[in-house]
Chain A
Amino acid sequence: MKIFSFTRLAFMALAVLATPALVSGAGAADTPAASVKLGDLVISDAFARATLPGAEVGGGYLTIINNGSAPDRLLAATSPSAKKVQLHSMTMVGNVMKMRPVVGGIAIPAGGSVAFTPTGFHIMFMGLNAPFAKGSQIPVTLEFQKAGSVKIGLAVGGIAATAPAAN
């Protein structure tokens, strides 16, 4: 009797443990990959922040790794989700926030990486067609000088998300 119940308990535990794996496995087919490869470039950790009601702008973030031996350059980002998309840098100079459009693109060094984070570069969406809702995906096309273009989905997290939501 005792052995039977332990066995049953083990099966139940296994079932519970397996559930999230099955769910995330099923979901993976519908959502764009969390990481995209384009030649020597790997783009990962793509996310956006949910926008507050009334906000006309939103920020998108990702990491670009260059595994190649030649530098590349991110020239532009476009998206059907906003009227205008720009590449911006945000810096805190003393206690002053300064945001600037990046002129001439962003260099992705050979063998290096560039991270867009809420304390550095961001993809600036201006004139949103709809508020960025948590849990949705914002499609973005990135245009590189050498590698060409690639489409990626930014997973929308919370209003102050600092990283993609863990799956």
Chain B
Amino acid sequence: MNLKTIRIGLWGLVILVCLVGAGLYLAPRAPAKTSFGGGTYALVDENGKPVDQNMVIGQPSMLFFGYTHCPDVCPTTLADMASWFQALGPEGKNLKAFFVSVDPERDTPKVLKSYVSAVSDRITGITGTRPEINKIIKAYHIYTKKIPIGTDGDYSMDHTAVVFLLNSKGKYDDTIDYGATPSVALAKLRKLISTS
């Protein structure tokens, strides 16, 4: 084997590594952009009743991910949603709202029910096993991260905190950002309802 053969072989190897590397780099990105929502998951609502991916089918929905050990964003968003329902009145009679826990270890159906139903009977708390919650978190591209606070196992959850608006087919329509003014939120909801 002469030097030239070795050199050609090495360059061939370099090209091969580059191609494989590029393939690995690009491959997982493609599907992430094509789907939002959907997927399959088996969860329970605040009454312990089984629900799945079809909960967002058949009517326009608001979907929010949160947890009950959350002093600022989660109660605020629940109160906002309740006020939007009130402002919409009969116009929003088919609209549903779901508060999906990103902390199912602490948010049992019972805890969720007392927490959510104190704000509005129009919002349904959703929880489930960790693997199934992870499936819905993934389906909606929700960022979550467990953050230890203190030494006794206490933790908070970083999480995506926008309200997703889904049409009656369960497809993405819009989002309402945290702190959106009532007029902005209501305009988006009215558009969702009229086009669903």
User: B-contacting residues of A (Cβ < 8 Å)?
Assistant: 49, 52-59, 84, 86, 88, 90, 92, 95-101, 118-119, 122, 124-126, 158-160
Contacts and interface: CB of A to CB of B under 8 A. Distances in A.
A154 B118 CA distance: 22
B72 A96 contact: no
B79 interface: yes
B69 A59 contact: no
B139 interface: no
Interface string B70-113: 11110110111000000000000000000000000000001111
A88 B127 CA distance: 26
B71 A59 contact: yes
B172 interface: no
A61 B84 CA distance: 26
Contact of A98 (B114, B118, B158, B175): B158
B192 to A, nearest CB: 18
B69 A90 contact: no
B158 A54 contact: no
Contact of A99 (B114, B119, B147, B150): B147
Nearest to A98: B158
A119 B114 CA distance: 25
Contact of B161 (A54, A92, A118): A92
Contact of B71 (A49, A92, A100): A49
B68 A90 contact: no
A154 to B, nearest CB: 13
Contact of A90 (B73, B110, B111): B73
A52 B68 contact: yes
Interface of B: 68-73, 75-76, 78-80, 110-116, 118-119, 143, 147, 149-150, 152, 154, 156, 158-162, 175, 177-179
Contacts of A119: 72, 179
A57 B73 contact: no
Contacts of B116: 52
Given A56-B68, A97-B161, A160 B156 contact: no
Contacts of B152: 84
Contacts of B160: 95-97
A26 B178 CA distance: 40
B115 A92 contact: no
Contacts of A96: 143, 158-161
Nearest to A124: B71
Which 6 residue pairs across A and B have the least CB separation, nearest first? A59-B71, A160-B79, A54-B114, A53-B114, A97-B161, A54-B115
A110 B9 CA distance: 69
A96 B177 CA distance: 10
Q: Among A54, A97, A99, A101, find the residue whose CB has the most chain B CB atoms closer than 10 A.
A: A97
B147 A126 contact: no
Contacts of A160: 75-76, 78-80
B66 to A, nearest CB: 8
